[in-house]
A and B are shown apart, each in its own frame.
Chain A
Amino acid sequence: MIKLLKNLSKKDRFIILVIAALVIFSVFLDLRMPEYMSKITRLVQTEDTTMKDILTAGTHMLLCAVGSMLTIIVIGYFSSLLSANFSKVVRRKIFVKVESFGLAEIKKFKTSSLITRTTNDVTQIEMLLAMGLQLIIKAPVMAIWALYKIIGKSSELSGITAIGVVIIVITNTYIIKKVTPRFEKMQKLTDRINGVTRENLTGIRVIKAFNAERFQEKRFDRVNKDLSTTQLENQKTFAIMEPIMHFVMHFQHLGIYFVGASLITRLGIVDKINLFSNMVVFSSYGMQVIMSFLMLTMIFMVLPRARVSANRINEILDSDISVKDGEFSGETKEKGIVEFKNVSFRYPDADEDLLENISFKVNKGETIAFIGSTGSGKSTLINLIPRLYDVTSGEVLVDNKNVKEYKLRTLNNKIGYISQKPIMFNGSVKENISYGDNGRGKPTNAKIKEAIGVAQAEDFVNKMDNKYDSHIAYGGTNVSGGQKQRLSIARAIARDPEIYIFDDSFSALDYATDAKLRKELKNYTKDATVMIVAQRIGTIMNADKIVVLDKGKCVGIGTHKELLENCEVYKEIALSQLSEEELNHA
């Protein structure tokens, strides 16, 4: 919690000081108010008071009231400024941090949890600041002021006040102890709620097709029940809080009177009177002490949850990034060279290598393809180039430089990566194509048009209502899978990269479009290096080099012809798709 509050800027800290000063002033004004009230009451009760006296006293009281009101409004202004700003800054920090994450970290936290942490958790802390800050300052000021008034007056009566305070402290500690782990659970369950709902939204077609609505609803219901039960448990615990506070407050009052009365009977006349006036003082200031604890109680309603949220946020902010940015941001002499040297890779929590000792090299303008059965590690292999993951051992070199030495921006500027699952952003076609930054400014309209043309997307884009300005819905739900793939290929083309990485990005395209696209791409980017992961022999058989992967190992490198002769795995794959005759025909 405190760690997170260190994110407050100098200006914020100054605002806190201002708020503190104003709160003290408002406490002072508030304490004046009862004095005015009793003065007016006395005036009204005295028979020879003139109207003027009452008016004067009334005016004074109203002035004081106006002052108090204005002070509190100003405090409200500053604390809203502070808390809104704090949440803005922290939210941004989380966002920036998550953007710097590699895939490993995203996997660790899970997307749905990252979303809850960036919004819901930040809101919890914002609430604490908005509500709690004034109270946190006001409560001790009031408590100290009240204690100052009663200190050394009567040990017996102080004892009663102390008992009251002790009961409150014990209750609060008990409640916090009980409630905090539940809040932790609650935020986790909020993640789950988010997760299950997200699943339902993304898999709606599958769910409907399987008539699995009720199944999914049950899954939701379970989490929902868990969440509500935990919530209810907590609120039940909180339900004790206020009655106990009031109970303590009232019984302290009564206790002071009762004990005081018994003491009085044993005292001399003068002491009696003194004790009585002490009693009055005690009962009103003891009340103040309890009241200030009551204020803290209100904070305790929010604090445990905020603390849990703060921890969850800190987990993100403190998380080590496995992929560390490099230094190099200059120009390389060579272009378009990718080399793997004895590369092995395994996921952080896996027991076995997913890729084992892979070595190959591809030069400028060449096309290299990767083929292998499902789960052979093709996608993982090419994910190592833009450092979505880092190698476990060995080296990946781009333009004869280890990828780890590059600044990620510089490295990414060389690469046009097209993911397996096409990703579309909510925005226009144009915005989707020109997405990102390649260090050379946004592509021109002509460039975008060209890219769309090469990607064989011109036809359908032209058919859309607003052509390049047509709106693509979130997740690209209003275009088909093949169209999405072509748009995401166009996005890579518009970047003008040295190296294209296609991670099975032709799978949703029919053969004709696939063939045409690759042909035009080759013409368009004569100098670019192309790396293709594919399932279809047809897509890759003309590559300069084909790497055949089997269970994470490289079992053959060569051209189509060479591999057909000397690589059993390749031959099998080829034969599963095309007949002997068709292969020869090619």
Chain B
Amino acid sequence: MPRPGRMRVNEKVKDFKGTMKKLFRELDKWRVFLILCLLLSSFSALLSTIAPNRLSKVTDVISEGIKPDINRIQTISKEIYSNAMKNYMSYLNLDKDTDIINSDKSNAIVDNNTSALIEGFNKLDDKSKELILKDITIDGVIISVKDQIIFLNIINSMDDSMVTDDLLEMLDKLPESIKILIEPKMNMDKLKHRSLILAIIYILSSIFGYLEARIMAHISTNFTKKIRNNISLKINKLPLKYFDTHETGDVLSRVTNDVDTIGMQMNQSLSSLVASTTLFLGSIVMMFVTNYIMALTAIAASILGFILSFILLKVSQKYFVQRQVELGNINAHIEETFSSHKVVKTYNGEKEALDEFDRINDKLYNCNRKSQFLSGIMQPIMGFVGNFGYVAVCIVGAILVMNNKTSFGTIVAFMIYVRLFTNPLSQIAQSLTGLQATAASAERVFEFLDEDELTDERRLKGFVDKDIAKGNIEFKNVRFGYSDDKVIINDFSAKAKSGEKIAIVGPTGAGKTTMVNLLMKFYEINNGDILIDGVSIKELTRENIHDLFIMVLQDTWLFDGTIRENIKFNKKDLTDEQIWQICKIVGIDHFIKTLPGGLDSDVGDNDTISQGQKQLLTIARGMVKDAPFLILDEATSNVDTRTEELVQKAMDKLMEGRTSFIIAHRLSTIKNADLIIVMNEGEIVEQGTHEELITKKDGFYSKLYNSQFEIN
């Protein structure tokens, strides 16, 4: 079934920027917190830029700690050789007087004939070497003759062609005494110191992150709470006209689905957007400081990404908006179908309802799929842009090095910055998609919040005090239509004096309820005026007018709460005793007593309480109120006549000295009215008392009255 009312699907891409602006204006209340969040996440981002650098320093300490002291090996070998040569020479029976040679001389000998001597010495077998050599002490470590021989053998077996691993293996075979000397020393103090700094950075970063998340949670939940509240407040500020053209389900969807989306996405997107933007900007600054050509390269590469993502944002925004719109539509259809369950079932309307559901569901599926897909694309594209930037920087860097424009060190530093620069890109992309969903929902919420409200009444000066009101009402040439070309009330003039009972009768559609709506200022009259105690309702606030009236409607509206709450409604000071008294008058005391919960029994969305009983409850609710005027709009249409009689009596008593308007079909109940106004098609056709009107043989009223006895 095509539904004209639901064709309002707004498919054009709306104002992303404008909506975001509004969103931030709403957020203004939490400005201090937002700034705090910004600072915290900037700090945390700053720490993230420092941390890798610090970590590499820790790595340096460790890698220093594992390299054996190669230089030490050379000094050790020099020492051992010089010692050996000295002993070798004396062994070769050189001048015995030179037993004690001064060091200069012996050094000269070693120097002059080193290679020959060493060669000679090396050729000796281990036993001879043992005889020649003596224990020596290096840095307090005694190296025995045996150790010296092993050391020399290992050193001699080395050659230039050996690879590192073999070399290390050989080092491992060195005698303990020498190992002690060349063993790498891990600078544990330095390591501890650097690790501590790093640990502090990490802890701080975690604390900042936590604080930021806490504050953000606070902002986002309070923000959504406020928005929800604003919608609820807005509902009561809208003119009734609005609800003639809008569906309940759609408004509901804005309160739940849209606000939900805003809350969830905002919480995630906003903070990560701030953090990644800080990181992003920070690394750009650092890049420019290091080398502007390469910085420009990196930026150029990422601009490509940004252009792509803005195109994507533009394209996908449409689907995000549509998605929320369709969600509202499906909510509306579901609401309608579920609350019309009786008719849907008994008329076999399931298929029809399902067809319509399928139609909207298919649409929803399509924009769901598209919006999700498009938002999923953003991240890989940004990821690619990051990699692209990396390669570009490397190539440009390499060219610069070849032309001697920059050093290797710069490039190495740059590589780190480029990574810091590209990582936030994909996070920014993700946040942007999140914000996109937020914008689509926020737009619908703001659209609702921006609807025209009831006219502002603050400037109105008129006031009628309900405690001293006289109770006169005058209708003066009232003219009204829901739109200019559809006039419902043509020219209505009537007067009700204090304490009178005025009945308005007429066929359905005559405009009886409309008159009441005008009197209550639910709608504004186009022409003419209504005066309450001589004051024009145009000069009175709605609140003032509503205060003056007790109104009981045909509509058996009760809210989801206990019977007590419903009868009390917005009147706070009411004892149970008073409630029971009223229930007795209305005749539902017995019924309430039979309910297991008594006054605490729940009413609302259920069927155990009949329409008639609900209507009695609404009458009881009305009777609680104290006001100079009473309006009964078909207030007893669902109640059986015996009960009605009782209620009527109670009301008559209540009405003594008060002006009342009664709309009724059961003419028997209005026979004693002081004035009966007979309406047809928006005009008064007859006025008078029952006696006066019934005597007019061909009168409208007498025909209406007699029709109830017609035999059909």
Residues on the B chain within 8 Å of A326, using CB: none
Residue contact A374 to B560, C-beta cutoff 8 Å: no
**Which chain B residues in 602-627 approach chain A with CB under 8 Å?**
604-608, 610-613, 615-616, 618, 621, 625
Residue contact B611 to A236, C-beta cutoff 8 Å: no
Stretch in B90-98, B129-137, B285-293, B505-513 with 4+ CB within 8 Å of A: B505-513
Residue contact B383 to A115, C-beta cutoff 8 Å: no
**Which chain B residues in 345-364 approach chain A with CB under 8 Å?**
345-354, 357-358, 361-362, 364
Residues on the A chain within 8 Å of B3, using CB: 426-427, 431
Minimum CB–CB distance from A251 to chain B (whole Å) comes to 7
Residues on the B chain within 8 Å of A33, using CB: 387
9 further A-B contacts with Cβ under 8 Å, apart from A87-B368, A417-B343, A535-B638, are A73-B381, A99-B344, A130-B376, A212-B569, A425-B336, A481-B508, A504-B611, A511-B707, A516-B707
A54, B395: Cα distance in complex, Å: 7
* Contact of A231 with B by CB under 8 A: yes
* Contact of B39 with A by CB under 8 A: no
Residues on the B chain within 8 Å of A420, using CB: 611, 638
A54, B4: Cα distance in complex, Å: 64
Which of B217, B415, B553, B612 is close to A205, meaning CB atoms less than 8 Å apart? B553
**Which chain A residues in 527-552 approach chain B with CB under 8 Å?**
535-538, 542
Residue contact A203 to B559, C-beta cutoff 8 Å: yes
Which of A225, A261, A473, A535 is close to B62, meaning CB atoms less than 8 Å apart? A261
A228, B616: Cα distance in complex, Å: 36
Residue contact A111 to B169, C-beta cutoff 8 Å: no
Residue contact B235 to A204, C-beta cutoff 8 Å: yes
Given the known inter-chain contacts A92-B361, A431-B1, A508-B637, please indicate yes or no for A193 contacting B228, CB distance below 8 A: yes
* Contact of A238 with B by CB under 8 A: yes
Given the known inter-chain contacts A54-B398, A107-B605, please indicate yes or no for A276 contacting B66, CB distance below 8 A: yes
Q: List 12 A-B contacts (CB under 8 A).
A: A33-B387, A92-B357, A103-B607, A194-B255, A206-B618, A215-B570, A264-B186, A265-B188, A376-B640, A412-B347, A426-B5, A510-B704
A462, B271: Cα distance in complex, Å: 60
Residue contact B380 to A69, C-beta cutoff 8 Å: yes
* Contact of A98 with B by CB under 8 A: yes
* Contact of A260 with B by CB under 8 A: yes
Residues on the B chain within 8 Å of A417, using CB: 342-343, 346-347
Residue contact B555 to A235, C-beta cutoff 8 Å: no
Minimum CB–CB distance from A421 to chain B (whole Å) comes to 7
Residues on the A chain within 8 Å of B370, using CB: 80
Main SS at interface, chain A: helix
Range class of the A interface residue count: 35 or more
Instruction: Encode B194-215 as 1/0 by CB contact (under 8 A) with A.
Output: 0100110011011101100110
Residue contact B256 to A116, C-beta cutoff 8 Å: yes
Residues on the A chain within 8 Å of B186, using CB: 261, 264-265
Residue contact A269 to B184, C-beta cutoff 8 Å: yes
A339, B351: Cα distance in complex, Å: 29
Given the known inter-chain contacts A254-B195, A511-B708, please indicate yes or no for A269 contacting B68, CB distance below 8 A: yes
Stretch in A2-10, A140-148, A390-398, A433-441 with 4+ CB within 8 Å of B: A433-441
Minimum CB–CB distance from A318 to chain B (whole Å) comes to 18
Most buried by A among B188, B218, B553, B612: B612
Instruction: Encode A52-70 as 1/0 by CB contact (under 8 A) with B.
Output: 0011001001100110111
Residues on the A chain within 8 Å of B596, using CB: 351
* Contact of A198 with B by CB under 8 A: yes
A15, B213: Cα distance in complex, Å: 36
Which of B172, B240, B353, B505 is close to A268, meaning CB atoms less than 8 Å apart? B172
Residue contact A88 to B394, C-beta cutoff 8 Å: no
Number of cross-chain contacts by CB at 8 Å? 548
Residue contact B411 to A44, C-beta cutoff 8 Å: yes
* Contact of A40 with B by CB under 8 A: yes
A37, B387: Cα distance in complex, Å: 9
A437, B373: Cα distance in complex, Å: 39
A371, B640: Cα distance in complex, Å: 9
Which of A227, A465, A573 is close to B225, meaning CB atoms less than 8 Å apart? A227
Give the nearest-CB partner of B568 in chain A. Answer: A215
Residues on the B chain within 8 Å of A103, using CB: 341-342, 607
Which of A203, A216, A239, A481 is close to B634, meaning CB atoms less than 8 Å apart? A481
Closest 4 CB pairs of A and B: A482-B508, A436-B347, A374-B612, A76-B376
Given the known inter-chain contacts A88-B362, A197-B251, please indicate yes or no for A423 contacting B352, CB distance below 8 A: no
Which of B349, B379, B561 is close to A436, meaning CB atoms less than 8 Å apart? B349
Give the nearest-CB partner of B342 in chain A. Answer: A419
A163, B547: Cα distance in complex, Å: 69
Residue contact B704 to A511, C-beta cutoff 8 Å: yes
Residue contact B1 to A261, C-beta cutoff 8 Å: no
* Contact of B229 with A by CB under 8 A: yes
Residue contact A119 to B327, C-beta cutoff 8 Å: yes
Residue contact B607 to A107, C-beta cutoff 8 Å: yes
User: What is the number of residues of chain B that contact chain A, defined by CB distance less than 8 Å?
Assistant: 194
Residues on the A chain within 8 Å of B203, using CB: 247
Minimum CB–CB distance from B599 to chain A (whole Å) comes to 17
Residues on the B chain within 8 Å of A155, using CB: none
* Contact of B460 with A by CB under 8 A: no
Residues on the B chain within 8 Å of A99, using CB: 337, 344-345, 350, 353-354
Residue contact B343 to A374, C-beta cutoff 8 Å: no
Residue contact B711 to A586, C-beta cutoff 8 Å: yes
* Contact of A1 with B by CB under 8 A: no
Residue contact A512 to B704, C-beta cutoff 8 Å: yes
Residue contact A374 to B244, C-beta cutoff 8 Å: no
A375, B342: Cα distance in complex, Å: 19
Minimum CB–CB distance from B480 to chain A (whole Å) comes to 14
* Contact of A357 with B by CB under 8 A: no
Residue contact B247 to A474, C-beta cutoff 8 Å: yes
**Which chain A residues in 265-279 approach chain B with CB under 8 Å?**
265, 268-270, 272-273, 276, 279
Which of B350, B377, B559 is close to A73, meaning CB atoms less than 8 Å apart? B377
Residue contact B372 to A272, C-beta cutoff 8 Å: no
Residue contact B338 to A98, C-beta cutoff 8 Å: yes
Minimum CB–CB distance from A231 to chain B (whole Å) comes to 5
Instruction: Encode A176-210 as 1/0 by CB contact (under 8 A) with B.
Output: 00000000000000100111111111111111111
* Contact of A336 with B by CB under 8 A: no
Instruction: Encode B234-250 as 1/0 by CB contact (under 8 A) with A.
Output: 01100010011111110
A58, B58: Cα distance in complex, Å: 30
Stretch in B17-25, B74-82, B575-583, B662-670 with 4+ CB within 8 Å of A: B662-670
Stretch in A165-173, A288-296, A445-453, A575-583 with 4+ CB within 8 Å of B: A575-583
* Contact of A331 with B by CB under 8 A: no
Give the nearest-CB partner of B608 in chain A. Answer: A347
Instruction: Encode A455-497 as 1/0 by CB contact (under 8 A) with B.
Output: 0000110000100000101110110111101101001000100
A533, B604: Cα distance in complex, Å: 23
A54, B508: Cα distance in complex, Å: 88
Minimum CB–CB distance from B476 to chain A (whole Å) comes to 23
* Contact of A77 with B by CB under 8 A: yes
* Contact of A522 with B by CB under 8 A: yes
Stretch in B113-121, B531-539, B642-650, B686-694 with 4+ CB within 8 Å of A: B642-650
* Contact of A161 with B by CB under 8 A: no
Minimum CB–CB distance from B464 to chain A (whole Å) comes to 14
Residue contact A573 to B331, C-beta cutoff 8 Å: no
Instruction: Encode B37-76 as 1/0 by CB contact (under 8 A) with A.
Output: 0000000000000010001001101110110100000000
Given the known inter-chain contacts A126-B368, A220-B232, A511-B665, please indicate yes or no for A40 contacting B394, CB distance below 8 A: yes
Which of B171, B184, B248, B546 is close to A201, meaning CB atoms less than 8 Å apart? B248
Give the nearest-CB partner of A439 in chain B. Answer: B348
Given the known inter-chain contacts A106-B338, A423-B343, please indicate yes or no for A577 contacting B668, CB distance below 8 A: yes
Residue contact B508 to A515, C-beta cutoff 8 Å: no
* Contact of B31 with A by CB under 8 A: no
Residue contact B217 to A235, C-beta cutoff 8 Å: yes
Residue contact A535 to B338, C-beta cutoff 8 Å: no
* Contact of B181 with A by CB under 8 A: no
Residue contact B642 to A373, C-beta cutoff 8 Å: yes
Minimum CB–CB distance from B563 to chain A (whole Å) comes to 14
Instruction: Encode B165-207 as 1/0 by CB contact (under 8 A) with A.
Output: 0001101100000010001101010010001001100110111
